[in-house]
A and B are shown apart, each in its own frame.
Chain A
Amino acid sequence: MPGPRLFSILRQGSCLIASIHTALDDSQLLRFQQDLVETIGRDRARGVVIDVAALDVLDSFATSTLRDIGEMARLRGAATVVVGIQPEVAIAMVRLGLRTGVLETALDLEEGLARVDGRLAGAADGRRDR
């Protein structure tokens, strides 16, 4: 694939920060999912923050992909937070009929990392179930 990278996955402590840089089509989204889930397993990450601020559309497929990532990450012991959903994207998502609860969300990267840290602290207290 020519052109700039579509997404990046960086490690920060026990967390992964996955940023999507541009609009992705469905197969690119699936590759993102595959890469991210592999990295979670390989790095034994405890938290994942997915930054979708660059996406101008979060349709049903993108949302279900994010949900699946969250689910797979959970099975590997990592908490996932999606950050950076733009106001108009959020409105379109609810008008489309997407329900929250499908995704754990936070405003931005900073909030997302705080949220994940909070989760990990909670987990360290002995509660691993969610």
Chain B
Amino acid sequence: MNDEDDEVAGVTFGGATDQGRQTDDDELLPQLVSHLREHRNRLRQQWVSRIQGAHLLQAMTSQEMAAETTSVYDNYVEVLETGSVGALRDYARDLSERIIPRGVETQEVVGIVLLLRDVLARSLFEKYQRDLPLLNRVLDAYEPAANRIANTVAVSFVDERERVIRQQQDSIRELSTPVLRVRERLLILPIIGVLDTERARQLTEQLLSGIRAHRARVVVIDITGVPDVDEAVANHLVQTVDASRLMGASVIITGLSPEIAQTLVTIGVDLSRMDTIGDLQGGLEEAERLLGFSVTRDSEAAGP
């Protein structure tokens, strides 16, 4: 192949057909890459106007758009050049992390990558249209790489989105069911909000690992913040109490009103194995008593 002939790719390839396709194909991607680098500004501009025309990424300012599209473009070309999607994937994750909080949707991200793919394909088409066999081979080389890029970006975005959602869910859960250590061997679990099967399960798992980590002997579960304590909720609590007991911890339930307790007993919930005390203060005093600490009160008010 002629080294000096680095500009007129069509001619070079046209004259080299009898040298075997493998060599040619090895040269195709570098050709393609230098073409895309050479026309970087023009192609990127085309891409940006296509994005705007499609009303995508409207959450971004024009400066942001210019900066991000330049980065994506360069990463894109780099993947074509090196065949390695690692850097692009990292960038796509990073970009996703920044744009997800702003409400950018999956289809937008996929949309812009497909637009870039299209802009570049058109430019290749223009460049090589005089030589159809060559154009076919250029597109054959370009398309798998372009598909791989589109796939990488989309997957990175979706992964990141799922990760963010999971993280948010986890933090909400943890916020809503903190296992607090009051003193040595004593935990408080204030439950706030609806206690459904899934949450009861997570809460129990969290409590049991808390019991093990803190070597707790007594746990006070305060359900003042749980609305609608019905049979299902009560049965979840019974299981939590039983499981805690198997780990060697006693459980005191506080915040269960006498009326609701009466109702639960009437419909057949076995509260006999649950130690229930009206308010949190009383529950803590009972807990300390169980732990063998003596309780002294400032006032001589009646005990729980």
Q: Do chains A and B touch in the complex (CB under 8 A)?
A: yes
Residues of A within 8 A of B (CB): 83, 85, 87-91, 93-95, 98-101, 103, 105-108, 111-112, 115
Given contacts A91-B204, A100-B242, is CB(A106)–CB(B209) below 8 Å?
A: no
Interface string of B244-259 (1 = CB under 8 A from A): 1111110000000000
Given contacts A85-B247, A90-B246, A107-B215, is CB(A100)–CB(B273) below 8 Å?
A: yes
Beta-carbon contact of A105 and B239 below 8 Å:
no
| Minimum C-beta distance from B187 to chain A (A) | 13
A63 and chain B: residue at smallest CB distance: B246
The answer for the CA separation of A48 and B88 in the assembled complex, in Å, is: 62
The answer for the CA separation of A71 and B180 in the assembled complex, in Å, is: 37
Task: Decide yes or no whether B122 CB sits under 8 A from chain A.
Answer: no
Beta-carbon contact of B209 and A87 below 8 Å:
yes
Task: Decide yes or no whether B212 CB sits under 8 A from chain A.
Answer: yes
| Minimum C-beta distance from A79 to chain B (A) | 15
Interface string of B200-224 (1 = CB under 8 A from A): 0100110011011001010000000
Given contacts A107-B215, A111-B215, is CB(A90)–CB(B273) below 8 Å?
A: no
The answer for the CA separation of A68 and B145 in the assembled complex, in Å, is: 68
Main secondary structure of the interface of B (DSSP, over half): helix
Beta-carbon contact of A107 and B239 below 8 Å:
no
Query: Which A residues lie within 8 Å of B245 (CB)?
Result: 100, 105
Residues of B within 8 A of A (CB): 201, 204-205, 208-209, 211-212, 215, 217, 239, 242-249, 273
Beta-carbon contact of A94 and B273 below 8 Å:
no
Beta-carbon contact of A94 and B242 below 8 Å:
yes
CB contact between B273 and one of A85, A99, A108 (< 8 Å): that residue: A99
Query: Which B residues lie within 8 Å of A115 (CB)?
Result: 248
Query: Which B residues lie within 8 Å of A111 (CB)?
Result: 215, 217, 248
What are 16 A-to-B residue pairs whose CB atoms are below 8 Å? A85-B246, A85-B247, A87-B208, A87-B212, A87-B243, A89-B246, A90-B246, A93-B243, A95-B239, A100-B273, A105-B245, A108-B215, A108-B248, A111-B217, A111-B248, A112-B248
CB contact between B211 and one of A95, A98, A101, A107 (< 8 Å): that residue: A107
CB contact between A99 and one of B201, B215, B217, B242 (< 8 Å): that residue: B242
Q: Known A-B contacts: A94-B243, A107-B249. Give 14 more (CB < 8 A).
A: A87-B208, A87-B212, A87-B243, A91-B208, A93-B242, A99-B273, A100-B242, A100-B246, A100-B273, A108-B215, A108-B248, A111-B217, A111-B248, A112-B248
The answer for the CA separation of A115 and B204 in the assembled complex, in Å, is: 24
The answer for the CA separation of A99 and B242 in the assembled complex, in Å, is: 7
The answer for the CA separation of A95 and B209 in the assembled complex, in Å, is: 17
| Minimum C-beta distance from A112 to chain B (A) | 8
Q: What 3 A-B pairs come out closest when comparing CB atoms?
A: A87-B208, A107-B248, A106-B248
Beta-carbon contact of A94 and B249 below 8 Å:
no
Beta-carbon contact of B243 and A91 below 8 Å:
yes
Beta-carbon contact of A105 and B208 below 8 Å:
no
Beta-carbon contact of B246 and A103 below 8 Å:
yes
The answer for the CA separation of A113 and B245 in the assembled complex, in Å, is: 17
Query: Which B residues lie within 8 Å of A85 (CB)?
Result: 246-247
| Minimum C-beta distance from B181 to chain A (A) | 15
Query: Which B residues lie within 8 Å of A105 (CB)?
Result: 245-248
